[in-house]
Amino acid sequence: MKNIDIEAHVTGRSLYLDDLPMLHGTLFGEIFSATVAHAEIISLDVSAAEQYPGVVRIFTYKDIPGENQIGGIVADEVLMAEKTIHFCGMPIAFVVATSVAAAQHARSLIKLETKSLPIITNPREAVEKGHLIIPPRQFKLGNSQEAFKNCAHIFEGIAETNGQEHLYIETQGAYAMPSEKNGVKVYSSTQGPTAVQKHMADVLNLPMHKIEVDVTRLGGGFGGKEDQATAWAIFCGLAAHLLQQPVKYSMHRMDDMKMTGKRNPYSSNFKIGLNQALKIIAYEVSFFQNAGAAADLSPAVLERTLFHCTNSYFIPNLTATAYCCRTNLPPNTAFRGFGGPQGMYVIEAAIAKAAEGLGVSAMQIQEKNLIKDDDAFPYGQLAQSRAAVCWQKATALFNLKEKQQQIKQFNEENKFFKKGLAAMPICFGISFTKINMNQARALVHVYMDGSINISTGAVEMGQGVNTKMLQVAADVFSLPIHLFSINTTNTFRIINTSPSAASATADLNGQAVEMASKNILERLKIVAAKSLNALPEQINIKEGVIFVNNVAAALTWKELVLQAFLQRINLSEHAHYATPKINFDASIEKGHPFAYHVYGTSFTTVTVDALRGTYVVDEVDIVHDIGKSKNTAVDIGQLEGGLMQGIGWMTMEEIVYDQKGVLKSNALSTYKVPDIYAAPKKVNIFLLETEKEEMALQGSKAVGEPPLMYGLGTWFAIADAIKAINPAVTLAYETPFTPEKVLMALYSSKKEFLQYEKPIGQLSVNKG
């Protein structure tokens, strides 16, 4: 089934935040933010800006009726700076004017005097100085220290993963208006409507029931609008509440890039030990996460890094330690994969380093160590593993041996271009790792004309969740899809929602839709049974036709619904779903945190230009553990899109902050995401139908985040090609593999260029 929104999308009729029809008297906001990363505020002078024609009011923290606090996990983030600036881009004032142009111009008239404070941009420096947001966390399995004594081979190294800008094509924004009796209604481009509601209530000093948050859809989110959409909604809400006028704020791209956090960069140490048979016996890893200036979601991101630090492998002896480091960058945040990719890159780097040292293919080590049924993950949960079946299927289906042979031949025959190949197995746990977030609600209304309307807590942002919600209901009722519609996500209809995140949105909300639909259906079957003189268990509804003992009855769906209504039967149901079985005890870092895991294996082939250091991704082959796909068009779309984002992260997407914490890659002209030419020439996807996964939505496994990690294979494939050109090179495990890094690695022996100053990459924070 096609995405229910697609016809509106292709005709431009889908509404996003900035497209909503505006109310008369709408005002426009712009944020005045810090241009330095760490400083004391000496004075703030808004007088000239206030005088500018069109300016209505300029808000600072002093105008906040409630708390100046929006921290989600840790209360360490103010809405507007008071005495101290903690990062470049930190909001200081909100200018509200009668036009966007007036607000923008007035903003440039604000004068700020500051006194510089020492700036930290490097997470390791933050650790040294004791700037940790939460105490270090450690996952242990077996005894790594002892186990290293028995290892035949030990390798150590450092891995650096850079951040990643979400680059949702729709920038952040919100549109707020006063509602009756001191309330506020806000349209927000957020993945977390409840987070907006909760924090706005605190800032405005109102109860949550006064705040209505409504979300139609997002023009992309990818985690960037999970927690970080909140501030902009509150700015609008604050101004609308205090001015009693509608206020809109749709961000300019450069403001968005400057003010919002990104995927957390990590600097990591690893030590891996193997036995003679290439089994990984011991692994020790330390993660230094660059959280930025406030906690935001970083502690949770860090936790998932630990959960996924062994990827698809069973490692009997492990010590993984993680540090959430406070620096003077914008607070980093959720991004598809949520710390998982950062953890997985390090174990893959460790395996690559071991393979290099031992003169074997990394694939040999990867394959030998895939996790098996009932092997324990570092957090104690036992695997129901599809790792080997995916690997073997991929090897056979994509003819790995032949592929390797062809690459070898190509490399022998070509001097100026060399190919490289890498495998990337993935394993990703499904559930919010914070157990209490694994709950959702749905509201199903059957109107007296037989049409059905559904509300859930899910936010549609391109992942097709609304389509899946309607499919679930249509399946339960066995009715044609045109009888259904889905509402905007609204905190007055569905409350206390978890954000649309963690790949779990369809699972959680869909099961609530299924429960609500089933309950109504049961009631309708009783009505039908009475009407047709049969027993409820003899009644069946298929494609809108009522059957008694599989014989079509003279009763239509519409008639049945009307009868039920006239008999005063409840045709509306609100259902609540909470994922069963899951648990986690953070005091011992053990439990069963995931409903299930998603597995897969990919092979990536690249070609590197030996003269220019440029490269293309030729082909990516994927075998993906999907369970029983509910919607293959949507699921393939998630796979292809996630892969591309992962490739972008590993190749051209380079976040550059200077030493003063100022973002240099601050526009689309300096931060490059993949374009159509950067897509792999071929992507071959095989959806592996695996055993029915009871905890997944009708057996259809979550698919949002896992495919991103196939992108990691691109880094290792490029590394493989570089070695074919320059076998002597010692590669630094640093992402992204820009053409710059490739060329520097290819010509690592060209000492004459080293007389010039260090590359900017080594000066900037994200490289550790």
Partner 1 sequence: MTQFILNNREINIELPDGFLLVDFIRYQQQLTGTKIGCREGDCGACVVLLGSVEQQQVCYQSVTSCLMPLINVNGKHVVTIEGLLGNDLTAVQKSFCDFSASQCGYCTPGFVMALSNYFLTEGPKTEAGVIAAMDGNICRCTGYKSIERAALALLQQWPSDDSNTLSKAIAQNIVPHYFSEIYERLLKISSPKTTSVAKKIGGGTDLFVQQPEKLSTGSLQTMVNNGQQPWLVEKEDTIEVSGHATVSFLARQEVMRKCFPNFESVIKLVSSTPIRNMATLAGNFVNASPIGDFSVFFLALSSTLIIEDNHGLTREQPFKDFYLGYKKLNLQPQEIIKSIRFRKPTAPCYVNFEKVSKRTHLDIASVNSALFLKVEDGLITEAALTAGGVGPTPLLLQQAIKTIIQQPVNFETLARLLPAAQQEIAPISDARGSQTYKRLLLQQIIKSHFVTIFPEIFREEKIFSL
Per CB under 8 A, which of residues 220..279 are in contact with partner 1? 220, 222, 252-253
The distance of closest approach from Cβ of residue 286 to partner 1 in the complex, given in angstroms and rounded to an integer, is 28
Tokens 């490269």 locate to 615
Of 642, 661, 706, 768, the residue at the interface with partner 1 (CB under 8 A) is 642
Of 91, 246, 457, 761, the residue at the interface with partner 1 (CB under 8 A) is 761
Question: Which token pair is 465?
Answer: 């969740």
Of 679, 686, 729, 732, the residue at the interface with partner 1 (CB under 8 A) is 679
- How many C-beta atoms lie closer than 10 Å to residue 124's C-beta? 16
Tell me the residue ranges of DSSP E strands in 586-651: 590-592, 596-609, 615-627
CA distances from 241 to 21, 65, 98, 179 (A): 20, 10, 16, 9
The distance of closest approach from Cβ of residue 361 to partner 1 in the complex, given in angstroms and rounded to an integer, is 25
Tell me how far apart the alpha carbons of residues 237 and 250 are, in angstroms, rounded to a whole number: 14
Put residue 471 in one of left, alpha, beta given phi > 0 → left and psi -120 to 50 → alpha.
Answer: alpha
Question: Which token pair is 589?
Answer: 């870092």
- Return the number of the residue (132 or 679) whose C-beta is nearest partner 1: 679
180 is an interface residue for partner 1 by CB under 8 A: no
Q: Which stretch binds partner 1 (CB under 8 A): 57-65, 279-287, 396-404, 739-747?
A: 739-747
The distance of closest approach from Cβ of residue 610 to partner 1 in the complex, given in angstroms and rounded to an integer, is 7
- Return the number of the residue (72 or 613) whose C-beta is nearest partner 1: 613
The distance of closest approach from Cβ of residue 418 to partner 1 in the complex, given in angstroms and rounded to an integer, is 11
Of 160, 654, 693, 720, the residue at the interface with partner 1 (CB under 8 A) is 654
Of 282, 528, 656, 695, the residue at the interface with partner 1 (CB under 8 A) is 656
Put residue 187 in one of left, alpha, beta given phi > 0 → left and psi -120 to 50 → alpha.
Answer: beta
- DSSP-assigned beta bridge partners for residue 663: 657
The distance of closest approach from Cβ of residue 420 to partner 1 in the complex, given in angstroms and rounded to an integer, is 17
Give me the DSSP letters along 517-579: HHHHHHHHHHHHHHHHTS-GGGEEEETTEEEETTEEEEEEHHHHHHHHHHTT---EEEEEEE-
Of 376, 526, 633, 729, the residue at the interface with partner 1 (CB under 8 A) is 633
- Return the number of the residue (110 or 546) whose C-beta is nearest partner 1: 110
What is the footprint of partner 1 within residues 498-537 (CB under 8 A)?
none
CB-facing half-sphere around the CA of 242: CA atoms within 13 A? 22
Degrees (nearest 5) of the Cα angle 590, 595, 601?
A: 100
Active site residue 734: no
Report how many residues bind partner 1 under the rule CB under 8 A: 90
What DSSP character marks residue 275?
A: -
Q: Which of 79, 93, 84, 46 is nearest to 205 (CA)?
A: 79
- DSSP-assigned beta bridge partners for residue 418: 608
Q: Which stretch binds partner 1 (CB under 8 A): 381-389, 500-508, 566-574, 649-657?
A: 649-657
461 is an interface residue for partner 1 by CB under 8 A: yes
- DSSP-assigned beta bridge partners for residue 97: 28, 55
Of 311, 319, 645, 735, the residue at the interface with partner 1 (CB under 8 A) is 645
The distance of closest approach from Cβ of residue 596 to partner 1 in the complex, given in angstroms and rounded to an integer, is 24
What is the footprint of partner 1 within residues 395-434 (CB under 8 A)?
415-416
What is the footprint of partner 1 within residues 741-760 (CB under 8 A)?
743-744, 747, 750, 753-754, 756-760
480 preceded by a cis bond (ω within 30 of 0): no
Tell me how far apart the alpha carbons of residues 501 and 472 are, in angstroms, rounded to a whole number: 19
- Return the number of the residue (301 or 610) whose C-beta is nearest partner 1: 610
Question: Which token pair is 574?
Answer: 């609100």
Residue type at 169? Answer: I
Of 537, 587, 677, 728, the residue at the interface with partner 1 (CB under 8 A) is 677
Q: Which stretch binds partner 1 (CB under 8 A): 44-52, 81-89, 391-399, 629-637?
A: 629-637
- Strand, helix or coil for residue 232: helix
Contact pattern for partner 1 over residues 358 through 397, marking x by CB under 8 A: ----------------------------------------
Of 91, 192, 193, 219, the residue at the interface with partner 1 (CB under 8 A) is 219
- Return the number of the residue (531 or 764) whose C-beta is nearest partner 1: 764
- Return the number of the residue (26 or 179) whose C-beta is nearest partner 1: 26
Tell me how far apart the alpha carbons of residues 263 and 226 are, in angstroms, rounded to a whole number: 12
- Return the number of the residue (387 or 656) whose C-beta is nearest partner 1: 656
Question: Which token pair is 305?
Answer: 């890094």
Q: Which of 142, 125, 73 is nearest to 375 (CA)?
A: 142
Packing angle of the helix pair 505-532, 557-566 (nearest 10 deg): 80
464 is an interface residue for partner 1 by CB under 8 A: yes
What is the footprint of partner 1 within residues 16-45 (CB under 8 A)?
16, 18-19, 21
Give me the DSSP letters along 51-105: HSTTEEEEE-GGG-SS-S---SSSS---SS-SSEE-STT-EEEEEEESSHHHHHH
Contact pattern for partner 1 over residues 680 through 699, marking x by CB under 8 A: ---x----------------
Q: Which stretch binds partner 1 (CB under 8 A): 55-63, 151-159, 565-573, 674-682?
A: 674-682
- Return the number of the residue (153 or 253) whose C-beta is nearest partner 1: 253
Q: Which stretch binds partner 1 (CB under 8 A): 403-411, 532-540, 597-605, 643-651?
A: 643-651
- Return the number of the residue (358 or 652) whose C-beta is nearest partner 1: 652
Tell me how far apart the alpha carbons of residues 442 and 80 are, in angstroms, rounded to a whole number: 35
Tell me how far apart the alpha carbons of residues 424 and 738 are, in angstroms, rounded to a whole number: 20
- Return the number of the residue (33 or 645) whose C-beta is nearest partner 1: 645
- Strand, helix or coil for residue 720: helix
Dihedrals phi, psi of 743, to nearest 5 degrees: -65, -40
Of 15, 396, 535, 586, the residue at the interface with partner 1 (CB under 8 A) is 15
The distance of closest approach from Cβ of residue 677 to partner 1 in the complex, given in angstroms and rounded to an integer, is 5
- How many C-beta atoms lie closer than 10 Å to residue 568's C-beta? 7
170 is an interface residue for partner 1 by CB under 8 A: yes
Degrees (nearest 5) of the Cα angle 674, 675, 679?
A: 75
Q: Which stretch binds partner 1 (CB under 8 A): 82-90, 369-377, 432-440, 633-641?
A: 633-641
CA-based R_g, the chain, Å: 27
Tell me how far apart the alpha carbons of residues 368 and 278 are, in angstroms, rounded to a whole number: 7
664 is an interface residue for partner 1 by CB under 8 A: yes
Tell me how far apart the alpha carbons of residues 337 and 34 are, in angstroms, rounded to a whole number: 30
727 is an interface residue for partner 1 by CB under 8 A: no
- Strand, helix or coil for residue 153: strand
Of 168, 232, 594, 596, the residue at the interface with partner 1 (CB under 8 A) is 168
**Catalytic choice (165, 348, 619, 705):** 705
Helix (H) or strand (E) holding 212: strand 211-215
Q: Which stretch binds partner 1 (CB under 8 A): 340-348, 550-558, 677-685, 687-695?
A: 677-685
54 is an interface residue for partner 1 by CB under 8 A: no
The distance of closest approach from Cβ of residue 606 to partner 1 in the complex, given in angstroms and rounded to an integer, is 13
- Return the number of the residue (554 or 754) whose C-beta is nearest partner 1: 754
What is the footprint of partner 1 within residues 591-620 (CB under 8 A)?
610-614
- Return the number of the residue (291 or 650) whose C-beta is nearest partner 1: 650
What is the footprint of partner 1 within residues 104-133 (CB under 8 A)?
104-105
Active-site annotation, residues? 705
